[in-house]
Structure 1
Amino acid sequence: MLHILLFILKIIGILLLSILGLILLILVLVLLVPVRYRAGLQMRTIADYSADGKVSWLFGLICLTGSYDGEQVKLDIRIFGHSLLHKKPEKQKKRRKKPSQRQTREQPAVREIKAEKENIESKNAECMPIVEQAGPKQDEKTSGQEISDTEDGGTDADEAEQTSGTHEKNHIWQKLRNGSTRLSRLPSQIRQKVSSIGHTWKNLSKRKDHLQSTVEKYHSFWNSTCTQAAKNHILREVKYLLRHILPEKLEGALTFGFEDPATTGQVLGILCVLAVFTGNHLEVNGNFEEKMLEGDVSIKGHIRLCHIAKSAIGLLTDKNIRKTIKGYQSYRQI
């Protein structure tokens, strides 16, 4: 009985050790195996260009590829060689459906019914009578109305002149009344404007004092020893990450030109200095005669998650950073 119990415990221990070993293996692969990236850019003109890129992990077993040929963007994700976005279409056998005996029997009968309907419709169309449209009749009363309008025209003109004169007089009196009311309201409007200017000046002085106090407060917070120590630590970690993330190789040739030759010379000098840091694998040429941009550039590099994890752990465990975050939150609440 004891032998069986020891055997069961042995099996359980082997399973636990194998699970722990598998977890450790996965962690080592995730942290130490680099994520490799590659990108290329081909330019004929400023508007005509193409690009392609690839990101792979675990020796290409997991791969993300993309390309742009000037018209269309193509993306693909492959895991162990199988594409997730572009599945192969399955071959389907096309089977022709044979008509049943019932359909073959019904087809002649349907055709006969359609032919009878067409004959009946044609006969009905021939029997329909043709109706002629009657022309519009002219009104006979228009001449009488025109005569009566000419007779009454003289009296209407006299009445219109009288009404226009009365309207002009009323309009002048209304303008005079409006002008007098506006003059009586001027002193009160001037007082309101002066008081509003005084209020705005007081508000501006208060805002100025508040802004000055906040600037002094954040200036003292920035110059504190805790904040400066946190800033220096963050800058060190950023430099460390850039050193391990930036591309290792920058290759190709680039020819460019601007409308102003002076601008072309300045940009050429900057790019020549940057090309030194890439091991002189990038050939840069300037065209001082015309505006152009063409070339073929490619970059290669890799990223290891262990470097990112090391920087993240260092930043999270720093006491100065935690104190700085708490101090900033307290400053905002004040």
Structure 2
Amino acid sequence: MIHIVLLVLKIIGIILASVLGLLIALLLIVLFAPIRYKLKAEYEEAFEASAKITWLLRIISFTAEYGNDSVAASESETSYEETDGSTNFRMRLKIFGRIIFDSSKVKEDSEEKKGLFAGRGKKRRKSKEQAQENKVSVLTAEPASVDSKKVQVEEKSVTNERTETARIAKSEAEAVPGLEEGSNSTTIEQQVKTEIQVKSEVIGELDISKATESSTKAEEPIEKKKGLFHFIRKAGDSIRNFWGKMKAFVSNLKEKIEGLTSNVSKLYSKYQLIRLFFQDDKNKLGFQYGFRSIKGILRHVRPKKVQAYIEFGTGDPCSTGQILGVAAAFMGLYKNSVQIIPDFEEEVIKGNFYCRGRIQTFIFLIIGVKLILNRDIKNLIKNFQTLKEEF
């Protein structure tokens, strides 16, 4: 029984060790397998460029192209027939030789989808137009129905008024003696109308008299107020209002000046804090170490091989010679890898550029660990946090 348990434990330990060994191997591959890159550009009649990035012995590759040159296509493992002539830029990602992403195919798929959904869009537009036409017809039909309803209501009101006038005329005829049953109704209606007009005139005269009385009553105190006392009081009120406005203006101006001075003092205090932060010796050491680290990263990333051929001319021998002198000042950087050929007679510019290099991730890991563990960097981060809190 014990032997069986030990055998099971042994098998489990072997499996765990193999899994751990695979993880360590993958980690080492990720850290030590370099990322290689190539850049190529050419300009003669048109600008053409290509870039290629590979990793893990070209298991993963990324290519980007600008232009439709067959040379650039062969360099990036693409054929001229596959490239889309309507576009000048293309990106492609491959894993184990299989295309995972292709920008030209994405554009083609989007165009096909647009073609498929074009008919549906037209149908929807037609249906929307029909719906709008129906709405317009309904809206145009509604006012007619409303007008007809209004006409019917007005006709009903007219008939009601006529029946009421006839009823009133009959009652007046019964009440007034001397009127015969066969007398004309129009005379009675005229009498009723004249009575109504007389009553309305009387009511109007009463309202006018009341209005005149109220106006006379309102004018009497105004006439009484006129005089020297009223003028002095009005002048005092105007002086009091002017003084209040001046006091408000002065107080507002004082508040604005105080706010401006406080803002200026705050800005000056912030400037002093920033100046002290950069003048601190510990912070200077941290900045120096950070700049050295960035310099090391750039030194590692820079291309290992550079080739360039440039032919230029401005048409003016003087300006061409000046440009050539500026380029010769940097001859120590590129040495013999860059050829510069001036043309003192014609205006021309053409050339090509090629570079390649590699990037190893473990270099970034080492630099990052050193930055984290460095004492000067820790002090710089701490002082920066305090400065941020004071702001």
The alignment's TM-score, normalised by the length of structure 2, stands at 0.53
Whose Rg is larger?
A: 2
Q: Residue 91 of structure 2 corresponds to which residue in structure 1?
A: 75
Instruction: Choose which of 286, 292, 296 in structure 1 pairs with 2:342.
Output: 286
Equivalent residues of 1:272, 1:284 under 8 A apart: no
- Looking at structure 2, the residues matched to 275 and 16 of structure 1 have their Cα atoms a distance apart, in angstroms, of 58
- TM-aligned CA deviation for residue 235 of structure 1: 1.0
Where do 1:77-156 residues align within 5 Å? 77-86=93-102
Task: Quote the offset at 1:6 in angstroms.
Answer: 2.3
Unaligned runs of 5+ in 2: 69-86, 106-238
Q: Which residue of 2 aligns with 1:307?
A: 363
**SS at 2:366's partner residue?**
helix
State whether residues 91 and 102 of structure 2, in contact with CA within 8 Å, keep that contact through their aligned partners in structure 1.
no
Two-structure CA RMSD over aligned residues (Å): 3.3
- CA distance change for structure 1 residues 318 and 266 in 2, over 3 Å: closer, same or farther? farther
CA contact (8 A) 2:34 2:360 kept: yes
| CA shift for structure 1 position 49 | 0.4
Q: Which moved more, 1:313-322 or 1:228-237?
A: 313-322
Higher relative contact order structure (alpha carbons within 8 Å, sequence separation ≥ 6): 1
Alignment partner, residue 5 of structure 1:
5
Query: How far apart are 1:218 and its partner, in Å?
Result: 1.1
Match of 1:66 among 64, 75, 84: 64
Structure 1 unaligned segments of length 5 or more: list them.
90-183
State whether structure 2 residue 287 is matched by structure 1 residue 231.
Answer: yes
User: After superposition, where does 1:235-274 map in structure 2 within 5 Å?
Assistant: 235-258=291-314, 264-274=320-330
SS in 2 for 1:299: strand
**Structure in which a larger fraction of residues adopt helix:** 2
Cα distance in 2 between the residues matched to 1:295 and 1:288: 16
1:191 is displaced (CA, Å) by 8.4
SS in 2 for 1:84: strand
- Match of 1:15, SS state, is helix
The separation in 2 between residues aligned to 1:20 and 1:294, in whole angstroms, is: 55
What corresponds to 2:385 in structure 1? 329
Letter in 2 for 1:85: F
CA positional deviation for 1:323: 2.8
Change (3 A) 1:264 1:86: same
Shift of residue 261 of structure 1? Answer: 6.1
2:306 alignment partner, SS class: strand
Using the TM superposition, give the Cα deviation of residue 84 of structure 1 relative to its aligned residue in structure 2, in angstroms.
1.2
Alpha-carbon shift at residue 210 of structure 1 (Å): 2.2
Cα distance in 2 for residues equivalent to 1:192 and 1:264: 70
1:44 is aligned to 2:44: yes
Cα displacement (A) at 1:293? 2.7
TM-score, structure 1 as length reference: 0.62
Decide whether aligned partners of structure 1 residues 57 and 258 sit closer, same or farther in structure 2, where only a CA change above 3 A counts: same
State how far apart, in whole Å, the 2-side matches of 1:285 and 1:203 are. Answer: 64
Alignment partners' CA distance in 1, 2:4 and 2:319: 86
Displacement after TM superposition at 1:280 (Å) = 1.4
The structure-2 alpha-carbon separation of the partners of 1:311 and 1:294, relative to structure 1 and needing over 3 Å to count, comes to same
In structure 1, the partner of 2:263 is 207
2 CA distance for matches of 1:202 and 1:266? 57
Letter in structure 1 aligned against 2:100: L
Identical residues among aligned pairs (%): 27
